[in-house]
């Protein structure tokens, strides 16, 4: 086996978020593993994300999808932590407001503050049918913009501004985002661990 390949043949991308699937695919493709989605397998699973940390929730999703599919399953739990809001919305990022209203609510809550610092966090768990797991995390620092800009990416990307690039994450290409993002960093750590992982 080449040092760049790994001993797993097939991996489930354990998420219903199309943006995450696109980014995870891009980052896992060099491993040469077959990547499948829950939709492709006809798996429709609602996991109760009641953990206290990103890693707890990533583990809940990864183990549930692994049990349902019998395949090694990679889940990402991620979110936006805003300093001026005491780290909110954090693990509640997906439930901060109704879909479509999250960015507006965030900008409203930030209207009267000059303190704009924020970070994206991604925690990734790969659960294996034998009960083993691999974990990885990544963070990306930036600031909350005054208004949304750009139509790439997903979620809070249009309001997450990175001064060093003079762009919001939604103004970056997928490759530019993956090079610096929380998920890109976490996935590169996972890819390294997958290369070293030996199936028992
Ligand atoms: P799955 O649980 O099915 O993976 P989800 O969208 O519900 O999909 P999370 O529970 O991890 O995912 O919620 C994370 C939310 O945080 C997500 O819906 C976005 O609103 C936000 N988020 C995470 N990563 C992001 C990114 O790279 N860019 C913009 N927003 C992001």
**Cα–Cα distance for residue pair 26/79, rounded to 1 Å:** 20
Task: Tell whether 91 is covered by a domain.
Answer: yes
Write down the mean pLDDT value for the chain. Answer: 95
User: What predicted TM-score, i.e. pTM, was given to this entire model?
Assistant: 0.96
Percentage of the chain exceeding pLDDT 70? 96
Query: How many domains in the chain?
Result: 1
Task: Tell whether 104 is covered by a domain.
Answer: yes
Task: Tell whether 21 is covered by a domain.
Answer: yes
Output the pLDDT for position 1.
47
76 carries an active-site annotation: no
Identify the three-state secondary structure at position 37: coil
Confidence band (pLDDT; 50, 70, 90) for 165?
A: very high
**CA nearest ligand 1 atom 11, residue:** 77
pLDDT at 101 over 60: yes
Distance 117 CA to ligand 1 centre (A): 19
Task: Tell whether 4 is covered by a domain.
Answer: no
Task: Tell whether 5 is covered by a domain.
Answer: no
List the structure tokens of 87: 């780290």
Task: Tell whether 1 is covered by a domain.
Answer: no
Output the pLDDT for position 4.
57
**Residue 67 belongs to domain with CATH number:** 3.90.950.10
**What are 33-52's pLDDT values in tens digits?**
999 999 999 999 999 999 99
Distance 34 CA to ligand 1 centre (A): 23
Distance 77 CA to ligand 1 centre (A): 7
pLDDT at 182 over 50: yes
Confidence band (pLDDT; 50, 70, 90) for 136?
A: very high
Q: Residues 43, 83: contact at Cβ < 8 Å?
A: no
Cis upstream peptide for 89 (omega within 30°): yes
Task: Tell whether 163 is covered by a domain.
Answer: yes
């Amino acid at each position: 086996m080449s040092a760049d390949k790994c001993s797993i043949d097939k991996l489930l991308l354990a998420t219903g978020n199309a943006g995450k699937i696109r980014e995870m695919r891009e980052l896992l493709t060099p491993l040469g593993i077959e990547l499948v989605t829950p939709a492709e397998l006809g798996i429709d699973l609602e996991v109760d994300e009641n953990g206290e940390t990103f890693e707890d929730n990533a583990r809940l999703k990864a183990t549930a999808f692994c049990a349902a599919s019998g395949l090694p399953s990679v889940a990402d739990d991620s979110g936006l932590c805003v300093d001026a809001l005491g780290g909110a919305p954090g693990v509640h990022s997906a439930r901060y407001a109704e879909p479509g209203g999250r960015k507006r609510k965030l900008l409203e809550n930030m209207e009267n503050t000059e303190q704009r610092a924020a970070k994206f966090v991604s925690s990734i768990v790969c659960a294996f049918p034998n009960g083993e797991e691999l974990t990885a995390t990544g963070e990306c620092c930036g600031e909350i913009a005054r208004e949304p800009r750009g139509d790439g990416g997903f979620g809070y990307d249009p309001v997450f501004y990175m001064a060093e690039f003079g762009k919001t994450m939604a103004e970056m290409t997928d490759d530019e985002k993956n090079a610096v993002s929380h998920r890109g960093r976490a996935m590169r750590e996972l890819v390294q661990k997958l290369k070293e992982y030996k199936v028992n």
